[in-house]
Amino acid sequence: MVKKFLSSNFSVMLFHYDGFVDKWKEFEWSNHVVHISAQNQTKWWFAKRFLHPDIVEDYSYIFLWDEDLGVENFDPQLYLSIVRSEGLEISQPALDTSKSQIHQQITARARKSVVHRRIYKPGICDGKSSAPPCTGWVEMMAPVFTKAAWRCAWYMIQVDFLLHQFF
């Protein structure tokens, strides 16, 4: 995943929630990324503390991804071209149903379109649906924010929740 983003001219920051940073030194790209470590924390805890909107102001997009995503066929530049052409402020790449376990149907890639904003479930979701789980939300395993959307989202991350969720 890291090599794919570095080769596309991205800056990469890795949040280590297990405290093991030295294990990553074996990779040739390790010295080209920022490593931040704190044990037993979540990506949202790290994001609130280290990705303040003023700090990441120079970046057009913030990718806040889980470490276990399969990205073998992912092209960051192609993805961002779709995000820009669709005017998406908060998005997430869809999962290939033949290669990934799908926990929420909205995360599954729709084969007949470039982007989808809703799912259809008989009796639950139809073309007039305007609320979750049919439309209007992003599963937070791989969110991508524009810098404007990140500025809004960052202020909504609740510090008190983050401080107490593991105690």
Q: Which two tokens stand for residue 144?
A: 């991508």
Judged against a pLDDT cut of 70, whether residue 161 lies above it is answered with no
Question: Could you read off the pLDDT of 78-114 as tens digits, one per residue?
Answer: 999 999 999 999 988 876 667 667 666 666 666 776 7
pLDDT at 150: 97
pTM to 2 decimals? 0.77
- Angstrom distance (rounded) from CA 138 to CA 89: 11
- Angstrom distance (rounded) from CA 15 to CA 45: 10
SS3 call for 56: coil
Reported confidence tier of residue 121, pLDDT bands at 50, 70, 90:
low
pLDDT at 146: 97
**Alpha-carbon dihedral sign for residues 154, 133, 96, 70:** positive
SS3 call for 110: coil
Judged against a pLDDT cut of 90, whether residue 126 lies above it is answered with no
Q: Which residue has the tokens 């979701």?
A: 125
- Cβ count near 92 (within 10 Å): 19
SS3 call for 80: helix
pLDDT at 123: 66
pLDDT at 28: 94
pLDDT at 167: 44
Helix locations, the chain, DSSP H: 2-6, 43-50, 76-86, 147-156, 159-164
Answer yes or no: are the C-beta atoms of 39 and 19 closer than 8 Å: yes
pLDDT at 116: 59
**Alpha-carbon dihedral sign for residues 18, 100, 88, 158:** negative
Answer yes or no: are the C-beta atoms of 133 and 125 closer than 8 Å: yes
